[in-house]
Amino acid sequence: METTVLDVRAMPPRERHPKIFETFEGLKPGETFTLVNDHDPKPLFYQFSFERAGAFTWKYLEEGPEVWRVEIGKAK
């Protein structure tokens, strides 16, 4: 199974979170996508924790200093 990669580094900041949540909503339970970002997406984690508590998974694959990659999934 191929994982979708969503690289938001070239997107205007105001468009990033809506696109990330749109991608998340398109997942089936158990599916994941890889987010590529130019900073630690910790605020995004807090937003997911508040808005989608218990419905997502979050795993750092790369933690900077220039690129962060996070595997975000829809819980089964």
- Could you tell me the maximum CA-CA distance found in the chain, to the nearest angstrom? 32
Measured CA to CA, the distance from residue 3 to residue 39 in angstroms comes to 21
What confidence category does residue 2 fall into, taking pLDDT thresholds of 50, 70 and 90? low
CB 27 within 8 A of CB 75: no
pLDDT at residue number 3: 80
Query: Is the pLDDT score of 27 beyond 90?
Result: yes
Domains of the chain with bracketed CATH: 4-74 (3.30.110.40)
Q: pTM of the prediction?
A: 0.94
Measured CA to CA, the distance from residue 69 to residue 55 in angstroms comes to 20
